[in-house]
Chain A
């Protein structure tokens, strides 16, 4: 038993991925890779300038020049959806990194120091009691909307989820004899946290990170759609859908394509998260066998 757990801590082997992961996560990985590449190389592959307005070409159907048609200002929809991936992914990754780093630090302290735990966890309970979109809107309207404030506003409600996870892992890992051995070897508290406790959190955090990322992308789209997100000139999936809302009856595809991109992106990330959990959690593996 102990040995399976240890092996699960270093699980990445290529044969393992093809044998055990299955087809759905592979497709998800390919889709996500395409979206990431599209975002990185947006200036090269987008056929048009995403914010160039061409009033003559308003609300045109798909054509050779505009593969997905144009919006109400005559901007190319395909280019706008491609550029929109940039904001979504940037926010998704940025929020994940910030939430994981901050959550990990708070969680470690909370799991190991009893007094800090009592205070920190009540704050976290309070944060979790507020709907995350509402909290984000409040933060954005307080400090103004830019990509950085939006990122911060989405990060804050995500932090408690990471903190709770890290704390619960630390609480069980600190009972391990090797942690007690470290105490009797005179190892200082920060070093015990860093060296003996933190590595235990990596596998579950990887899984949690994918869910945080997906949820951040979705929240960003919601904020944009509500007009509380990144400024309306920037093409984001939420902004495109918000503008196209008025023309929904006339041109439903204006909402369909950015919505499709958003759904595919989130679905892929979630599928990858599930696959990561199956690989990293030895119990799930066993159940399948």
Chain B
């Protein structure tokens, strides 16, 4: 008998004639199995898992048909208190963002003990011993100190380990993990994935692992379910899905995953230097009146050049200073020292007014397409704002906006609509159109595709490449994703703790890394042994 059996589950918006968000899906998980539920945003993968835990938001979503059997017991028939008991003892869940799932005002050790208090009658000493044992099992160093820490004193990876400890301490038979590594850096992600896999083997816990990342699937799954817009598309053992996908959707999803193998080098189109950064330094928290402690040296002696028509990638993990570099170049923050030349003109140290003629030459595409467009302005108003600031007549700017919207592949009639009427990918296209309206020489893309689904991500990357070919704009592409960097960048600079540790043509840096840190980033990239677009292992 399967441990978890979801039969023909249907979930709909809790209203009269509410929209169905999950249609008629059936999933089964055997004891000790690691099953991945993979899909893009809006596919219903999280909703299915929340329904299993009985955690659907009340009044917003409800199960309209189907059964969820855990050990043969239908969870949908249980009372809230019975369900609460099952949630701790037989199934438990870990979430994407461990900071919000932990209570910030209690020590983490106490929070784990609380789970034991609620569901067992152990003595205090036994409880303590059990908590310490669990903390050791999830691979935390210096467990006494960690147990006495508050969540904010721990790193993201440590917090996720605490969440896992809390979820597994009652030895549930089923662990549901909802994108548990999405918010973590690749090297941390690798450790957490290994931990989950190890614990699953040792304890025989079945795991339902929800993710959007095919790399993660290739890394850990035994079996895979693919979901798309509320429907179950395909399921099967992981190797079958990766090597011989039957459905078009699965093929499309897999071929959208950018390959880690760098693309062939492009011939340079121009000798003109678009951006020249030399010895850039940025301290945070320095020079402020009565500032305590020492300043953070966020960017240390960073130098690089971007030629027209080429793309330079800056890759690194969170806190490496890559975004700070971008913001210094855009003059959203003032660099502490160093030179920034745009088209040969030194722009660091210019006043707000002096900078205005050069602002036009640099434009930025931001990470979060939901926040980078003013929700109260129409698309057209957003796009013409820049040109109008520089004296273009309104009618001309509007005509240009229409052209640009067409160029970035937006449907006709989008100009008069508001940002919330568009999807994330479309909004990112609009943001690109807005940047292009200024006819910039340099486009700074700060994690511009990180918030997008893979298939949309591929489209936006193609769009950027197309635009670059047509306009010879230089692109500074900031990303944490080596796969994306391998596919779009001509050159790559790897940053670690504010310093550029390796800088060179993409094929060299990612093909034959010289620095240890680059190597560790590459080995940590999930699914590095699998060539997704070609449905086969990477040729050695």
Question: Does A177 reach chain B (CB closer than 8 Å)?
Answer: yes
Assess whether B370 is in contact with A2, with CB atoms less than 8 Å apart. yes
Question: Does A289 reach chain B (CB closer than 8 Å)?
Answer: yes
Tell me the nearest residue of chain B to A188, going by C-beta. Answer: B389
Question: Does A180 reach chain B (CB closer than 8 Å)?
Answer: yes
CA separation between A2 and B59, bound complex, in Å?
20
Assess whether A289 is in contact with B60, with CB atoms less than 8 Å apart. yes
Question: Does A263 reach chain B (CB closer than 8 Å)?
Answer: no
Minimal beta-carbon separation of A197 from chain B (angstroms): 10
Chain A: how many interface residues by the 8 Å CB criterion?
23
Question: What mask results when residues 128 to 154 of chain A are scored 1 for a CB within 8 Å of chain B, else 0?
Answer: 000000000000000000000000000
- Chain B residues whose C-beta falls within 8 Å of the C-beta of A188 in the assembled complex: 389
Stretch at the interface among B84-92, B342-350, B371-379: B371-379
CA separation between A6 and B420, bound complex, in Å?
7
CA separation between A199 and B420, bound complex, in Å?
16
Assess whether B389 is in contact with A185, with CB atoms less than 8 Å apart. yes
Assess whether B373 is in contact with A186, with CB atoms less than 8 Å apart. no
List which A175-190 residues lie within 8 A (CB) of chain B.
Answer: 176-178, 180-188
Stretch at the interface among B29-37, B105-113, B360-368, B508-516: B360-368
Minimal beta-carbon separation of B385 from chain A (angstroms): 5
**Option from B375, B389, B390 in Cβ contact (under 8 Å) with A6:** B375
Known: A196-B374, A289-B58. A184 touches B389 (CB 8 A): no
CA separation between A2 and B372, bound complex, in Å?
11
Question: Does A7 reach chain B (CB closer than 8 Å)?
Answer: yes
Question: Does A9 reach chain B (CB closer than 8 Å)?
Answer: yes
CA separation between A187 and B387, bound complex, in Å?
10
Tell me the nearest residue of chain A to B368, going by C-beta. Answer: A177
CA separation between A3 and B418, bound complex, in Å?
11
CA separation between A178 and B330, bound complex, in Å?
14
CA separation between A196 and B389, bound complex, in Å?
14
Known: A184-B363, A186-B356, A289-B60. A178 touches B332 (CB 8 A): no
- Chain B residues whose C-beta falls within 8 Å of the C-beta of A7 in the assembled complex: 420
Question: What mask results when residues 1 to 42 of chain A are scored 1 for a CB within 8 Å of chain B, else 0?
Answer: 011011101000000000000000000000000000000000
- Chain B residues whose C-beta falls within 8 Å of the C-beta of A289 in the assembled complex: 58-60
List which A68-86 residues lie within 8 A (CB) of chain B.
Answer: none
Assess whether A182 is in contact with B385, with CB atoms less than 8 Å apart. yes
- Chain B residues whose C-beta falls within 8 Å of the C-beta of A2 in the assembled complex: 370-371, 375, 420
Known: A184-B362, A289-B60. A199 touches B376 (CB 8 A): yes
**Option from B60, B375, B431 in Cβ contact (under 8 Å) with A181:** B431
Minimal beta-carbon separation of A191 from chain B (angstroms): 8
Tell me the nearest residue of chain A to B444, going by C-beta. Answer: A184
CA separation between A196 and B373, bound complex, in Å?
10
Q: Mostly helix, strand, loop or mixed at chain B's interface?
A: loop
CA separation between A6 and B330, bound complex, in Å?
28
Assess whether A3 is in contact with B364, with CB atoms less than 8 Å apart. no
- Chain A residues whose C-beta falls within 8 Å of the C-beta of B371 in the assembled complex: 2, 176-178
Q: How many A-B residue pairs have CB under 8 A?
A: 69
Tell me the nearest residue of chain A to B418, going by C-beta. Answer: A6
Tell me the nearest residue of chain A to B355, going by C-beta. Answer: A186
List which B289-333 residues lie within 8 A (CB) of chain A.
Answer: 330-332
Assess whether B359 is in contact with A185, with CB atoms less than 8 Å apart. yes
CA separation between A7 and B418, bound complex, in Å?
11
Minimal beta-carbon separation of B251 from chain A (angstroms): 31
- Chain A residues whose C-beta falls within 8 Å of the C-beta of B364 in the assembled complex: 180-181, 184
Tell me the nearest residue of chain B to A191, going by C-beta. Answer: B389
Question: Does B434 reach chain A (CB closer than 8 Å)?
Answer: yes
Assess whether B59 is in contact with A185, with CB atoms less than 8 Å apart. no
CA separation between A47 and B373, bound complex, in Å?
58
Assess whether B366 is in contact with A177, with CB atoms less than 8 Å apart. yes
- Chain B residues whose C-beta falls within 8 Å of the C-beta of A199 in the assembled complex: 376
Tell me the nearest residue of chain A to B372, going by C-beta. Answer: A177
List which A241-289 residues lie within 8 A (CB) of chain B.
Answer: 289
Minimal beta-carbon separation of A21 from chain B (angstroms): 18
Question: What mask results when residues 367 to 399 of chain B are scored 1 for a CB within 8 Å of chain A, else 0?
Answer: 110111111110000000110011000000000
CA separation between A196 and B360, bound complex, in Å?
19
Question: Does B488 reach chain A (CB closer than 8 Å)?
Answer: no
Known: A6-B420, A7-B420. A181 touches B356 (CB 8 A): no
Assess whether B386 is in contact with A185, with CB atoms less than 8 Å apart. yes
17 more A-B residue pairs beyond the given contacts A184-B362, A185-B386, A185-B438, with a C-beta to C-beta distance below 8 A: A2-B420, A3-B420, A6-B375, A6-B419, A7-B420, A9-B376, A177-B368, A178-B371, A178-B374, A180-B364, A181-B373, A183-B332, A184-B331, A185-B359, A186-B359, A191-B389, A289-B60
- Please list 27 pairs of residues, one from A and one from B, whose beta carbons are closer than 8 Å in the complex, sorted by A's number: A2-B370, A2-B371, A2-B420, A3-B370, A6-B419, A6-B420, A7-B420, A9-B375, A176-B371, A177-B366, A177-B367, A177-B372, A180-B330, A180-B366, A181-B366, A182-B385, A184-B359, A184-B362, A185-B385, A185-B389, A185-B434, A185-B438, A187-B385, A187-B389, A195-B374, A196-B374, A199-B376
